[in-house]
Amino acid sequence: MSIFDYFRRKPKPVKATAAIAKERLHIVMAHEHRVANGPDYLPALKRELMDVIAKYVHVQKEDIKVNLERHGDCEILELNIALPEDKETAAVS
């Protein structure tokens, strides 16, 4: 490296990653608060609902979504099941 390169050398750019960290923390912590504040029976309820549904319809675990949301004083248990399109294969005989 010549002496001219030394003077031409630019300072190493710093990556401002703190904003990314903060954003990610916001999201993950909000999610964890929802889980922590939810009722204790929610995971078991979720599991049993899935078992019942699987008795009648062929669905993958990922196709069933259980969500508990809170709007003020009101709690809403949302159950979302994506049923397979082909009815023949969907039914459990």
Binding site for other proteins (CB under 8 A): 14-19, 21-22, 24-26, 28-29, 32-33, 36
Question: Apex CA 47: angle with CA 42 and CA 48, to 5°?
Answer: 100
Q: DSSP assignment, residue 7? A: H
CB of 76 to other proteins, least distance (A): 23
**Where does 1-93 have alpha helices with state H?**
3-8, 18-37, 42-56, 87-90
The CB-of-93 to other proteins minimum distance in angstroms stands at 46
Least CB distance from residue 6 to other proteins, whole Å? Answer: 14
Residue 28 or 91 having the CB closest to other proteins? 28
